[in-house]
Amino acid sequence: MPKNLSVESGTLLLNQTIVPFVVIRSVKRKRTIGFKIDNQQGLVIQAPLRTSLKELKKMAQSQAKWILKEYAAMVHLEKTSAEKKLVTGELVPYLGKHYPLQVHGGLHRSETCCLADNQVHVRIPQGLPENKQRHWVLCRLSRWYREQAEVVVKQRLQVWVEVSGLKPSSWRITSAMRRWGSCSTENRICINWRLIFVSLELIDYVIVHELCHIAHKNHSRAFWARVEEILPDYRYREAELKQQVMHFA
């Protein structure tokens, strides 16, 4: 291994949950320490070369709430998608429809996952062992879903901010396990990336619902009146959303 790079792995105990981790130290990182959740490695910690493991574990403990939420979401995704083989011909959800999956060998510089010709295409490395193909497809597909959620929510949020006159202080995509969306007391809006599975009319309902919480922090009559003013058919959309299951498939 190059002298300017070191890799170390182990497990962390965060609030009685064991989380596997990998530390990647590099001279290219001068000061910042980054945390991310990987489907295969668990918690990935990127840090400057000379950062001690003790210091990194201490920082991870301070970020335990975020780490556990993201790790739980990843584990849940793995479990709830277990019934899917993720092979060519299988149907996968996207914006309220189901599209045939096409898995191609021969990964190159083009997109590893995309929607084209009414099919979802995923490319995998040539010669990838069969027992690793499903995991590769799952990782690429879930990453693509999150990327698409970011794009779609940004577009729809811009539309409904203009229509409603209600503007959040900030917004972000999350991996919440029980909520499609939320609005904080500081008017920060969070939208669940799994909304990318449902139709645009349901995505719009969640966005409008959370925008209305900027004006009304509860579910009072005034709140619902504001929702209805913007979306007269909100009751239908709400009922439809309740039929949706918050999981991969």
| Percentage of the chain modeled with pLDDT above 70 | 90
CB 34 within 8 A of CB 45: yes
Average pLDDT over residues 12-28: 89
What was the pLDDT predicted at 126? 79
Reported in sequence order, the residue ranges of the chain that DSSP labels E, i.e. its strands, are 5-14, 17-26, 34-38, 42-48, 91-94, 97-105, 113-116, 119-124, 170-174, 181-183, 188-192
3-state secondary structure of 201: helix
- 56 versus 16: which is more confidently predicted? 56
| Dihedral sign from CA coordinates of 196, 201, 204, 205 | negative
Residue whose pair of structure tokens reads 């092979």 in the numeric block: 87
Intra-chain end-to-end CA distance of the chain, in Å = 40
| Dihedral sign from CA coordinates of 152, 63, 32, 41 | negative
Task: Kindly report which listed range (104-118, 133-147, 183-197, 215-229) carries the lowest average pLDDT score.
Answer: 104-118
| Percentage of the chain modeled with pLDDT above 90 | 54
- Is it the case that residue 81 has pLDDT exceeding 70? no
Q: What is the per-residue pLDDT across 176-208, written as a single tens digit (0 to 9) for each?
A: 767 899 999 999 999 999 999 999 999 999 999
Phi, psi of 81 (to 5 degrees): -100, 5
Bridge partners for 67 per DSSP:
none
Q: How confident is the model at residue 111 (pLDDT cuts 50, 70, 90)?
A: low
What was the pLDDT predicted at 249? 42
Q: How many other C-beta atoms are found inside a 10 Å radius of the C-beta of residue 65? A: 10
* Mean pLDDT over each residue of the chain, to the nearest integer: 88
CA 5 to the chain's CA centroid = 29
- 175 versus 67: which is more confidently predicted? 67
pTM of the model: 0.67
